[in-house]
Amino acid sequence: MSSKAFIAFAGFVLLMAATWCPLLRPFGVVSWDLYDLNKPYSMVVLLVAIVGIAGIVLKQYKVSRIAAWAGLVLVVLVYIAAQLKVHNTFSFIPFKGMAGFLTKLIKFKWGWYLLFAGAILSVLAVPKPAIPFEQGIK
């Protein structure tokens, strides 16, 4: 396995491990990981990471490249969704000051850094597929 393939492998493993890291901490009571935020979505992220790992191990770099980009898109989408959810959760409260106070009690945690690092690392490090050199082109 080449060094770029190993780095991409590490990126996919990091993406997989980051799904269990704390992402949100509402009201300082409990930490939520990706499975607590949206279980079907987290299963898709986990499946994309597994497909990427399988592509690296089997030297199917096109599959790994597609999985890496899909993982990055999924992480960006879940981050945008979490931002929108946090800022719109208390919009039903007629008092803007109270809604803002409650919104500030929901904290983003360090798991986001790992999710983005794994996705970006896998995108940047997946080796390009080898192009066969054709001898005797006439």
pLDDT of residue 117: 96
Establish if 40 belongs to a structural domain: yes
Establish if 137 belongs to a structural domain: no
pLDDT digits (tens, 9 = 90+) for 97-117: 888 888 888 899 999 999 999
pLDDT digits (tens, 9 = 90+) for 18-61: 999 999 998 888 999 999 999 999 999 999 999 999 999 999 99
Establish if 96 belongs to a structural domain: yes
Model confidence at 5, in pLDDT bands (50, 70, 90)?
A: very high
Query: Could you please report the per-residue DSSP string of 54-91?
Result: HHHHTT-HHHHHHHHHHHHHHHHHHHHHHHHHHHHTTT
Distances (CA, A) of 57 to 2, 18, 61, 137: 11, 20, 9, 33
Establish if 86 belongs to a structural domain: yes
Could you tell me which of 4, 30, 13 has the C-alpha nearest to residue 119? 13
Count of domains forming the chain: 1
pLDDT of residue 138: 57
Establish if 97 belongs to a structural domain: yes
Establish if 135 belongs to a structural domain: no
Structural domain range at position 47 = 3-125
pTM of the full predicted structure?
0.86
Rounded distance between C-alpha atoms, residue 90 and residue 44, angstroms: 28
Establish if 133 belongs to a structural domain: no
